[in-house]
């Protein structure tokens, strides 16, 4: 335990940001610090060390303007395991419904003496707006289709722990790339760490423009299957789409659902991820989601470790 | 003819309406241009313009003065103060007020308010459609009789093609242009910024260039078919510029304007998530900006207009998708034109002044934009060298939603006269 704390402190000394807004602006070195820190928390968890007092006396607020079960719970657990107090703020029951602006809401919360705001919002850039207007730490828990840095990190941590490396791997992100913040955070993180990334999905959701981010694009899952090491199956975000990007769910399933048949044509050690919540039978069938190649539940466990790392590094740095 | 004489002496007089570019004196009497280089006379007032450009009063044919209805953003008083501080002696205001300017009474209200403010000339662009609903024609004849100089539903496009065709036809009787904000609503829906690489990275909904270009092409076809006069507002895409260039070449009665923000900024600015970079049409990518500049250079684009769109801080300080579209422009336009078009050699002074004087005057059919002998003495004296920094806190506009805060610019209006009366610098200022 003492050894682990010493390692954690060493890592923290290499981190200098007050906020975690996205992976695009981070260096490979900074992403490495986050992953190494998260890995230590995961190892501690596996060794039965579930409680730390690294953030005792600190208060975190979950400021969620979009529904979320997994991410909010994950951040809450992470904060509590570090010894911090956690307050949940739900947009629907707040004065936002009385017309207060998001900045005023956050400033009011800050005046109550908090150390970090974890924000989820449907509009890209809202965490950045808050970061410009608040003194406390701001963590982006998903801003529209822009970024979801802790999701990207937990996906990457899961790959690194399962396959032992990131550099040189071919990772395919499949599905609703256009509306996916998870895709964007994964792309930035994976590219910086040396992976080859393919975005794959229907041409209404994947465009050649993505090449300008340094990734390959493909419309055919079947064509890329034999050469990928990791498949990350993204949820179809019906709620964000202005119009239906494909004629029917059945047609989508026929082209992109990861099922047992397609699994036969992959590399032997293929790793299947899904950021969830998954639409069973749409992006992935039950046999694949629950099969031996799937790391879906491992991702959730790693999620808590990643959020512990993120909270500790940014709050520790602000203090 | 016995009023006090004003002599603006020693400046470089540039008046594209009469092909004039000379150093000399401009004489004004009784609110009109008296002549050039006349002998000095007893008691005349002399304004020294040495080192300055003396131009016909600048015209901004696309502003939003917000009154009536949205006085928290701007009033006719504050908007016209901003106009003269920016060097403009005439503005044409858009009808998207609350209620919209679709009745002779509303036109009269704006004219009265402008007369009371006594800053600059205000011309009214009235609605194409009743209540700006895009369903049936407004009373265009009565509006024209009340003084409306042009017709537009700006803020929004005339979406219905049949209505647009009728508007072109009906305006023929009054020889008035139809000004359109070209945007196909279903293509632009939910959009916050230009659709391209930057919107893809930021995850912000995009407004594709085609949303504009498609409607520009439609309107050109309708203007061509009817013989109507089309003026395309705030052009921002390659497709629009190309379509207008081709249409002009075959004689279609089409004119067009570009705003200063569309030739100075790209969609990269949105990376800041600052809503002062959110406007409609959106800031486009480099290739579109280059084409707009080419259009200005080769004359495809006739006019530079600001689309001055004031919004209070409370409205702009919101999440990007909730903040309204639009930026103020009256007080920065001239400096941006001097710094980013004239000094780099993209436009000559003559071309730039033409796009801010006689060209908009001709499009709107107003007796302005010229220093011809006998014309109204609307004059803008421009210091072309002075360096200044944009400080939104010092704007005369009621709103400060500018993307140019902190920019260093060269060139600014030094003295502004409207019908021979000095309206800027403000007399009451300390």
Answer whether residue B177 is part of any domain: yes
| Tokens 């109550």 -> residue | A112
User: Would you call A102 and B318 a contact, using CB atoms and an 8 Å cutoff?
Assistant: yes
User: Would you call B190 and A146 a contact, using CB atoms and an 8 Å cutoff?
Assistant: no
User: Would you call B204 and A184 a contact, using CB atoms and an 8 Å cutoff?
Assistant: no
Q: Of the residues A148, A181, A191, A192, which is catalytic?
A: A148
For residue B22, the SS3 value is strand
Q: In this predicted structure, what is the pLDDT of residue A92?
A: 65
User: Would you call B202 and A181 a contact, using CB atoms and an 8 Å cutoff?
Assistant: no
For residue B290, the SS3 value is helix
Q: How far is B277 from chain A (nearest CA, A)?
A: 13
User: Closest to A144 (Cβ–Cβ): which among B189, B203, B322?
Assistant: B203
pLDDT in tens, A38-64: 999 999 999 999 999 999 999 999 999
**Backbone angle region of B147, left / alpha / beta, with phi > 0 → left and psi within -120 to 50 → alpha:** left
Minimal-distance CA residue of chain B relative to A133: B317
Beta bridge partners of B92: B123
First-last CA distance in chain B: 34
pLDDT in tens, B273-308: 999 999 999 999 999 999 999 999 999 999 999 999
B189 contacts chain A (CB < 8 A):
yes
Which two structure tokens, joined as six digits, stand for B51? 């080192």
User: Would you call A123 and B196 a contact, using CB atoms and an 8 Å cutoff?
Assistant: no
Which two structure tokens, joined as six digits, stand for A36? 């190494």
Chosen for mutation from B186, B189, B200, B203 (greatest number of chain A CBs closer than 10 Å) is B203
CB B300 within 8 A of CB B256: yes
Owning domain of residue B178: 57-364
For residue B178, the SS3 value is strand
- Tabulate helix, strand, coil % of chain B (nearest 5): 35, 25, 40
User: Closest to A123 (Cβ–Cβ): which among B189, B314, B320?
Assistant: B320
DSSP letter at B46 equals: E
Chosen for mutation from B186, B199, B202, B275 (greatest number of chain A CBs closer than 10 Å) is B202
Whole-angstrom Cα distance, residue A247 to residue A172? Answer: 23
pLDDT in tens, A203-247: 999 999 999 999 999 999 999 999 999 999 998 887 777 778 898
User: What is the per-residue DSSP string for A192-216?
Assistant: HTT-EEEEES-TTT--GGGGGGT-E
CB A64 within 8 A of CB A294: no
Whole-angstrom Cα distance, residue A123 to residue A82? Answer: 29
* A319 confidence band (pLDDT: 50, 70, 90): low
List of domains in chain A: 2-146+303-318 (3.40.50.1370), 149-299 (3.40.50.1370)
Q: In this predicted structure, what is the pLDDT of residue B27?
A: 98
| Tokens 């009743």 -> residue | B130
Q: In this predicted structure, what is the pLDDT of residue B429?
A: 46
B318 contacts chain A (CB < 8 A):
yes
Beta bridge partners of A197: A171
User: Closest to B321 (Cβ–Cβ): which among A123, A147, A181?
Assistant: A123
B205 contacts chain A (CB < 8 A):
yes
Contacts A213 to B, Cβ<8 Å: 197, 200-201
Q: In this predicted structure, what is the pLDDT of residue A94?
A: 56
User: Would you call A146 and B203 a contact, using CB atoms and an 8 Å cutoff?
Assistant: yes
CB A263 within 8 A of CB A291: yes
CB B93 within 8 A of CB B63: yes
- Can you tell me the ipTM of this complex? 0.92
B273 contacts chain A (CB < 8 A):
yes
Answer whether residue B127 is part of any domain: yes
The values of phi and psi at residue B45, to 5°, are: -90, 130
User: Closest to B319 (Cβ–Cβ): which among A24, A102, A242?
Assistant: A102
* Class of residue B394 by CB neighbours under 10 A (exposed 0-12, middle 13-18, buried 19+): exposed
Whole-angstrom Cα distance, residue A187 to residue A177? Answer: 11
Q: In this predicted structure, what is the pLDDT of residue B428?
A: 57
User: Would you call A207 and B196 a contact, using CB atoms and an 8 Å cutoff?
Assistant: no
Q: In this predicted structure, what is the pLDDT of residue B183?
A: 98
pLDDT in tens, A268-283: 999 999 987 888 888 8
User: Closest to A181 (Cβ–Cβ): which among B190, B203, B205?
Assistant: B203
Instruction: Tell me the count of A-B CB pairs closer than 8 A.
Output: 54
- What residues of A are in the B interface, CB distance below 8 Å? 24, 101-103, 121-126, 128-129, 143-147, 178-179, 181, 184, 207, 209-210, 212-213, 242
Q: Of the residues A27, A51, A93, A98, which is catalytic?
A: A98
Answer whether residue B250 is part of any domain: yes
Minimal-distance CA residue of chain A relative to B190: A242
Contacts A24 to B, Cβ<8 Å: 201
Interacting residues of B330 by C-beta distance below 8 A, sequence separation 6+: B60, B63, B79, B82, B83, B85, B86, B88, B91, B306, B308, B397
Contacts B190 to A, Cβ<8 Å: 242
For the ranges A13-22, A24-33, A282-291, the lowest mean pLDDT is seen at A282-291
DSSP letter at B340 equals: I
User: Would you call A213 and B273 a contact, using CB atoms and an 8 Å cutoff?
Assistant: no
Q: How far is B205 from chain A (nearest CA, A)?
A: 9
B41 contacts chain A (CB < 8 A):
no
Whole-angstrom Cα distance, residue B329 to residue B402? Answer: 7
* A101 confidence band (pLDDT: 50, 70, 90): confident
Total domains in chain B come to 1
CATH code assigned at B169: 3.20.20.140
Q: In this predicted structure, what is the pLDDT of residue A278?
A: 82
Q: How far is A102 from chain B (nearest CA, A)?
A: 7
User: Would you call A129 and B205 a contact, using CB atoms and an 8 Å cutoff?
Assistant: no
First-last CA distance in chain A: 23
Answer whether residue B416 is part of any domain: no
| pLDDT values of chain B reduced to their tens digit, one per residue, 430 residues | 467 899 999 999 999 999 999 999 999 999 999 999 999 999 999 999 999 999 999 999 999 999 999 999 999 999 999 999 999 999 999 999 999 999 999 999 999 999 999 999 999 999 999 999 999 999 999 999 999 999 999 999 999 999 999 999 999 999 999 999 999 999 998 899 999 999 999 999 999 999 999 999 999 999 999 999 999 999 999 999 999 999 999 999 999 999 999 999 999 999 999 999 999 999 999 999 999 999 999 999 999 999 999 999 999 988 899 999 999 999 999 999 999 999 999 999 999 999 999 999 999 999 999 999 999 999 999 999 999 999 999 999 999 999 999 999 999 999 999 999 999 999 754 3
Which two structure tokens, joined as six digits, stand for B332? 């920065």
Kind and range of the H or E run holding A173? strand A170-174
Q: In this predicted structure, what is the pLDDT of residue A200?
A: 98
Minimal-distance CA residue of chain A relative to B202: A146
* For helices A28-46 and A149-163, angle between their N-to-C axes, nearest 10 degrees: 70
Strand arrangement of the beta sheet that strand A196-200 belongs to: A216-218, A196-200, A170-174, A230-233, A271-273
Contacts A145 to B, Cβ<8 Å: 203-204
B200 contacts chain A (CB < 8 A):
yes
Answer whether residue B163 is part of any domain: yes
Round the average pLDDT of chain A to a whole number and report it.
93
Contacts A147 to B, Cβ<8 Å: 203
Whole-angstrom Cα distance, residue A290 to residue A172? Answer: 19
User: Would you call B196 and A210 a contact, using CB atoms and an 8 Å cutoff?
Assistant: no
User: Would you call A209 and B202 a contact, using CB atoms and an 8 Å cutoff?
Assistant: no
User: Would you call B273 and A209 a contact, using CB atoms and an 8 Å cutoff?
Assistant: no
User: Would you call B189 and A242 a contact, using CB atoms and an 8 Å cutoff?
Assistant: yes
Chosen for mutation from A25, A100, A119, A144 (greatest number of chain B CBs closer than 10 Å) is A144
Whole-angstrom Cα distance, residue A132 to residue A126? Answer: 10
Whole-angstrom Cα distance, residue A63 to residue A141? Answer: 9
Q: How far is B204 from chain A (nearest CA, A)?
A: 6
Whole-angstrom Cα distance, residue B172 to residue B286? Answer: 38
Q: In whole angstroms, how far apart are CA B294 and each of A8, A61, A197, A285?
A: 57, 52, 38, 54
User: Would you call B200 and A181 a contact, using CB atoms and an 8 Å cutoff?
Assistant: no
Q: How far is B315 from chain A (nearest CA, A)?
A: 10
Minimal-distance CA residue of chain B relative to A212: B197
Q: Model-level pTM?
A: 0.93
Whole-angstrom Cα distance, residue B65 to residue B76? Answer: 6
Which two structure tokens, joined as six digits, stand for A284? 């992935």
Give catalytic residues of B, as residue numbers.
307
Beta bridge partners of B413: B382
Answer whether residue B155 is part of any domain: yes
């Amino acid at each position: 335990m003492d050894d682990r704390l010493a390692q954690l402190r060493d890592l923290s000394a290499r981190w200098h940001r007050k906020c975690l807004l996205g992976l695009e602006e981070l260096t490979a070195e900074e992403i490495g610090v986050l992953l190494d820190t998260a890995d230590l928390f995961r190892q501690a968890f596996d060794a039965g060390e579930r409680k730390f007092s690294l953030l005792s006396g600190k208060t975190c607020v979950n400021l969620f303007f979009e529904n979320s079960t997994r991410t909010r719970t994950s951040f809450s657990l992470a904060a509590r395991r570090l010894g911090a107090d956690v307050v949940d703020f739900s947009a629907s029951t707040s004065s936002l419904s009385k017309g207060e602006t998001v900045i005023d809401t956050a400033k009011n919360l800050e005046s109550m003496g908090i150390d970090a705001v974890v924000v989820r919002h449907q509009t890209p850039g809202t965490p950045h707006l808050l970061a410009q207007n608040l003194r406390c730490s701001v963590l982006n828990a998903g801003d529209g289709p822009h970024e979801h840095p802790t999701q990207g990190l937990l996906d990457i941590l899961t790959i690194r722990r399962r396959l032992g490396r990131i550099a040189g791997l071919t990772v395919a992100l499949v599905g609703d790339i256009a509306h996916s913040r998870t895709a964007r955070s994964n792309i930035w993180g994976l590219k910086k760490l040396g992976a080859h990334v393919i975005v794959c999905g229907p041409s209404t959701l994947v465009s050649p423009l993505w090449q300008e981010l340094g990734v390959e694009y493909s419309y055919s899952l079947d064509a890329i299957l034999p050469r990928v090491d990791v498949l990350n199956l993204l949820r179809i975000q019906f709620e964000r789409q202005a119009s239906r990007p494909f004629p029917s769910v059945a047609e989508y399933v026929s082209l992109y659902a990861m099922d047992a048949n397609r699994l036969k044509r992959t590399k032997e050690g293929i790793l299947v991820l899904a950021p969830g919540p998954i639409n069973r039978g749409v992006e992935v069938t039950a046999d694949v989601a629950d099969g031996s190649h799937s790391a879906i539940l491992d991702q959730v466990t790693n999620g808590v470790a990643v959020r512990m790392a993120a909270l500790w590094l940014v709050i520790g740095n602000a203090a | 003819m016995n009023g006090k004489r004003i002599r603006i002496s020693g400046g470089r007089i540039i008046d594209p309406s009469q092909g004039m570019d000379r150093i000399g004196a401009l004489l004004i009497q009784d609110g009109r241009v008296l002549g050039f280089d006349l002998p000095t006379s007893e008691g005349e007032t002399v304004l020294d313009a040495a080192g300055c450009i003396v131009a016909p009063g600048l015209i901004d044919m696309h502003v939003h003065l917000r009154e009536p209805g949205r006085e928290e953003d701007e009033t006719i008083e504050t908007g016209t103060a901003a106009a003269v501080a920016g060097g403009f002696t005439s503005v044409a205001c858009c009808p998207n007020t609350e209620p919209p300017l679709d009745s002779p009474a509303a036109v009269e209200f704006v004219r009265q308010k402008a007369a009371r403010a006594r800053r600059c000339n205000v011309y009214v662009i009235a609605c194409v459609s009743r209540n700006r609903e895009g369903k049936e024609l407004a009373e265009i004849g009565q509006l024209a009789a009340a003084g409306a100089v042009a017709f537009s539903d700006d803020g929004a496009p005339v979406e219905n093609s049949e209505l647009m065709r009728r508007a072109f036809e009906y305006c023929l009787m009054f020889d008035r242009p139809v000004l359109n904000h070209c945007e196909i609503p279903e293509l632009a829906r939910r959009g916050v910024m230009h659709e391209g690489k930057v919107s893809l990275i930021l995850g912000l909904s995009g407004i594709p260039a085609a949303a504009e270009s498609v409607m520009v092409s439609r309107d050109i076809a309708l203007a061509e078919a009817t013989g109507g006069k089309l003026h395309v507002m705030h052009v921002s895409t390659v497709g629009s510029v190309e379509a207008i260039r081709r249409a002009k070449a075959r004689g279609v009665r089409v004119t067009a304007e570009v705003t200063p923000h569309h030739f100075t900024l790209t969609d990269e600015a949105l990376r800041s998530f600052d809503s002062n970079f959110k406007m409609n049409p959106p800031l486009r990518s480099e290739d579109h900006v280059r084409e707009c500049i080419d259009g200005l250079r080769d004359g495809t684009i006739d006019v530079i207009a600001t689309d001055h769109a004031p919004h209070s801080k409370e409205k702009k300080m919101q999440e990007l998708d909730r903040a309204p579209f639009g930026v103020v422009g009256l007080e920065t336009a001239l400096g941006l034109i001097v710094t980013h078009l004239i000094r780099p050699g993209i436009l000559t002074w003559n071309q730039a002044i033409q796009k801010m004087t006689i060209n908009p005057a001709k499009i709107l059919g107003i007796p302005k934009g010229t220093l011809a002998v006998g014309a109204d003495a609307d004059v803008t004296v421009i210091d072309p060298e002075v360096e200044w920094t944009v400080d939104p806190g010092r704007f005369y506009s009621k709103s400060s939603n500018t993307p140019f805060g902190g920019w260093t610019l060269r060139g600014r209006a030094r003295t502004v006269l409207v019908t021979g009366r000095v309206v800027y610098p403000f007399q009451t200022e300390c």
